[in-house]
Structure 1
Amino acid sequence: MKLTTHEVRPDTRDRAVLVSLVTPELKRQDAFDADYSLAELISLAETAQVDVMGTLTQNKEYADSKWFIGKGKAEELKTLIGETDANTAIFDQELSGAQVRNLEQFLDVKIIDRTQLILDIFAQRAKTREGIIQVELAQLSYLLPRLSGHGKNLSRLGGGIGTRGPGESKLETDRRHIRNRISELKRQLQEVVRHRNLHRERRKETGVYQVALVGYTNAGKSTMLKQLTHTDVFVENQLFATLDPTSRALKLPGGADIVLTDTVGFIQNLPHDLVAAFRATLEEANEADLILHVVDSSSEMMPTQMKVVDQVLEELGAHGKERITLFNKIDLCPPGQEEMLTTEGEFLRLSAYNEADLDRVRELLERKLMSDSRVYRIPADKGDVISLVYRVGEVLENEVDGSDMLFKVRLNNKEFGKIGYMLAAYDAARLAQGEPGGETTNHV
């Protein structure tokens, strides 16, 4: 059987009934809210170009091993599908291959779960080679243990949700073929990761501070990047508008440059296969010197969204990173709500479209990243060190003193070690010859 990519035309859009099963185990999860999760599933379906024909919710002690929902509720679902002329059922939780097979046979419609829906959206969004590889790897990793349950699904004509791939010409349902393809994609991804790591190392060698924007999907991270850096960045009011990390130079008020990177948005129950495939991309947050957590302060589910971001950062090993919370979209908050926006650690309340608010972000970044000023004595013929000082710091004053240059400089914090190491070598040589030492250690 083959899985091919199809353009979704208005007359072939999927028509779906959305189904949610709420169990006591789910209710015990801190970041889970049944109503919000279903509302988010509706947004995901609409993002995937699906017409939502209706919703169905069941409260049950545990998922049915055969039907996922109860047999009676499956009968109700079948009736609703017939009444609404739906051709797809989308479940808010992840299904096993056997459950998919049983539901397909009973309902005679395409069965999609939340994970497959998110993967489908990512398949639509992937444009770069890295993004395409990551999405296909996640899709195959999801599909492999479920092949026996997706036979009818994969063979349905017309394409649409659940059958979109990031450019692959065919996908045989043979396990060995898929395993070989997964191995090849992992090899390609390792090569991409190697290049990404080289770029990271080069950025580190330049001494430029790296700041990562993280947050729930559609919180306004790309808008923040675009407005702060005054550069062309794709911005769209939709889920997962950004897949590939986008880095731009940001000039701080004092003149120093830093690198600001936008990352893929997080979401409740982000598929593990997707986190694994996108780890190299998500680790931009882990490699950053500082994290800016962008929060949609106008969302009714703001606390839940913040918890989800915390959980993903913890999974990535970046939970302990220094972080500043940016409560974005305060212009959309009801009167009086703005004052209630607070959290542990440093935070700002702002709108990404307010230039005065953006100036406060830039000033806070400079205060966090730049040190107090110091005076450095550098031999005038040491152009590499002088160039480094200008690149990583803000030169407040400079003057000639014999064969040396005196620089009053404010450096970014992590460059003290590099500059100090270089100057210590000069000190040792100059002191041995009875000449003046290097760095003036007093803060000025």
Structure 2
Amino acid sequence: MFFDRPDSGEGAVLVHIDFPEGDEREDPREFEELVRSAGLEALSIITGTRSAPDPRTYIGKGKLEELREAVEFYEAELVLFNHALSPSQQRNLEVELECRVVDRTGLILDIFAQRARTHEGKLQVELAQLQYQATRLVHGWSHLDRQKGGYGMRGTGETQSEADRRILRDRENQIHKRLQKVQSQRDQGRRARKRSATPTVSLVGYTNAGKSTLFNTLTNAEVYAADQLFATLDPTLRRLPVQGLGEVVLVDTVGFIRHLPHKLVEAFKATLQETQEADLLLHVIDCADDDRALNMEQVEIVLDEIDSLERPTIQIFNKIDLMPGQKPRIDRDETGMPWRVWVSAQQNQGLELINQVIGEVLTKNLFEQTIELSPNEGHLRAMLYELGAILNENIDENGQFVLDIRIEKEDMLKLLSRVGIPADRFIPQEKEFWQE
């Protein structure tokens, strides 16, 4: 665990500072939800307003004195900041308050440590924690300096903090090697799905938007779902039958949050790769949330960071049961293609529309038909077999290969380009709207 506490739930004094519009702004309601999700009790919340953080203690002298009084009054052993503190700010605060100080990043890491269930998830969380701790080793170990012997080697040897850093680096390297093995296994699974032409649909969205509830209802799975932040951490894959398309693989992923620590994104790259390579993203949104526009923006920021922003995406406006008069429906663009679906996963309203939309979008991107190849075009036939795209094969009276194939249209175009066959022989060129 990132910071130890009794099973009964430790009390903490919270600190939230309002800043003008900008990168430092955080949501105090979301902060309280994070604290609750971590299993902690909020004893008091200290609020204030500043134009910029104080470089030494983040909050300034007056607010620091108010915080000290609250810590003494509640006999609190933990102070939580709704902001990212620098290592020096955190150390200065702990000296002034004589108690443990944890910032927003540390709190999120602790929640992740509690939620991780799989071996991979635990490794990813530990990696993020080690990277976080490496910047916060206290430089107060000079009394434990080790002397190096020998002529010309007088003076301070390896200090305790340097030894700690070396230990952390060694452990990081071990975890990186283990995660590389996990990523290799995931890559094998993705290649197998690619060969079988099984599309992947990934659920993404802000934490607590209802992704796991939607996932459970669609697939009859039993993924842990709760009204708390980061209820789901480890990715889960299930097969979902889609009418007119067959089976797709549906992926439930960790929820995003504003100012998601960059080290967490880095640590979870192997997990998030399911999102990077998905054929379709379902962006699940709590449509009843007053901050839904900001939450959607934050999700797009993380998607951009993992190079997934350009993936085909359908918005799923969830929790319409909390919006009186709102009914399930599909919103379409000027070309008739769906781009948003209004549903309630909790009340099982409109979920058949999601199945319909998945079929519409993925079928449009799927090349599924019968083609004829001459014996001289055996190279293309071999590559189609390698990708598992050939469903059935016959040879007609003229010696032509008659192949029933199913493959992503983009992959088919790449194959045709590699063997020098014009794409319009098999795939009619779609007209732009101005050509019609």
Q: TM-score, normalised by structure 2?
A: 0.78
- Residue 337 (structure 1) shift: 10
Q: Per-residue deviation at 1:268?
A: 1.0
CA contact (8 A) 2:37 2:228 kept: yes
Q: Can you list the C-alpha shifts for 1:406-438, whole angstroms capped at 9, x where unaligned?
A: 9999876457569989xx99xxxxxxxxxxxx9
Aligned partner of 1:222 in structure 2 is 212
Deviations 1:255-303 (A, max 9, x none): 5111111111000111111111011111211111111100011212111
Output the CA distance in 2 between the equivalents of 1:70 and 1:440: 66
Aligned residue in 1 for 2:251: 261
Q: Distance in 1 between matches of 2:247 and 2:401?
A: 23
**Which string of whole-angstrom CA distances, capped at 9 and with x for unpartnered residues, describes residues 349-390 of structure 1?**
1112455611111111111111487455799xxxx99x98xx
Answering whether residue 22 of structure 2 is matched by residue 28 of structure 1, we say: yes
1:239-388 correspondence to structure 2 within 5 Å: 239-254=229-244, 256-335=246-325, 346-353=339-346, 355=348, 357-371=350-364, 374-375=369-370
Letter of the structure 2 residue corresponding to residue 368 of structure 1? V
| Residue type at the aligned position of 2:314 | I
Matched, 1:74 2:67: no
Shift of 1:90: 0.4
In structure 2, relative to structure 1, the CA distance for the partners of 1:440 and 1:189 (3 Å cut) is closer
Q: What SS does the corresponding residue of 2:352 show, helix, strand or coil? A: helix
Secondary structure at 1:54 match in 2 = strand
Against the structure 1 CA distance between its residues 439 and 143, is the aligned structure 2 distance closer, same or farther, given a 3 Å change threshold?
A: closer
SS in 2 for 1:274: helix
**Offset of residue 6 of structure 1:** 5.5
Kept in 1: contact 2:16–2:81 (CA 8 A)? yes
TM alignment of 1:382-397, pairs within 5 A:
none
> For structure 2, which runs of at least 5 residues remain unmatched after alignment?
142-160, 375-380, 429-436
Q: Is the 8 A contact 1:377 1:439 kept in 2?
A: no
C-alpha separation in 1, matches of 2:258 and 2:203: 18
Cα distance in 1, alignment partners of residues 96 and 344 from structure 2: 50
Matched-pair contact (CA < 8 Å) for 1:98–1:149: no
SS in 2 for 1:89: strand
Q: Comparing 112-121 with 296-305, which one deviates more in the overlay?
A: 296-305
Q: 1:338 to 1:258 in 2, by over 3 A?
A: closer
Tell me by how many angstroms 1:318 deviates. Answer: 0.9
C-alpha change, 1:39 and 1:394, in structure 2 (3 Å) is farther
Which sits farther off after the overlay, 178-187 or 225-234?
A: 225-234
Asked whether 1:134 is paired with 2:124, we answer: yes
Alpha carbons of structure 1 residues 115 and 420: separation in structure 2 relative to 1, 3 Å: same
Distance 1:72 1:208, change over 3 A: same
Tell me what 2:14 maps to.
Answer: 18
Give the aligned residue type for 2:301.
Q
2:136 match: secondary structure: helix
Q: Does the residue aligned with 2:240 lie in a helix, a strand or coil?
A: strand
**What is residue 44 of structure 2 aligned with on the other side?**
54
- What is the Cα deviation at residue 61 of structure 1? 2.4
Alignment map for 1:108-127 (pairs within 5 Å): 108-127=98-117
Aligned to 1:8: 6
Residue by residue over 1:49-81, the C-alpha shift from the partner in whole angstroms, topping out at 9 and shown as x without a partner, is 111011112222222222111111100111122
CA contact (8 A) 1:370 1:413 kept: no
User: Residues 97 and 149 of structure 1 are in contact (CA less than 8 Å); yes or no, is this contact kept in structure 2?
Assistant: no
Contact kept, 8 Å, 1:394 with 1:411, in 2: the verdict is no
**Counterpart for residue 157 of structure 1:** none
TM-score after normalising by structure 1: 0.77
Counterpart of 2:78 (choices 88, 91, 97) is: 88
Q: Percent identity?
A: 37
8 Å CA contact retained: 2:320, 2:326? no
For the structure 1 residues 291 and 299, does the alpha-carbon distance in structure 2 shift closer, same or farther, using more than 3 Å as the test? same
Q: How many pairs align?
A: 394
* 1:150/1:60 CA distance change after superposition, 3 Å: farther
Do the aligned partners of residues 400 and 316 (structure 1) sit closer, same or farther apart at CA in structure 2, a change above 3 Å counting?
Answer: closer
> Which residue is equivalent to 2:30?
40
RMSD: 4.0
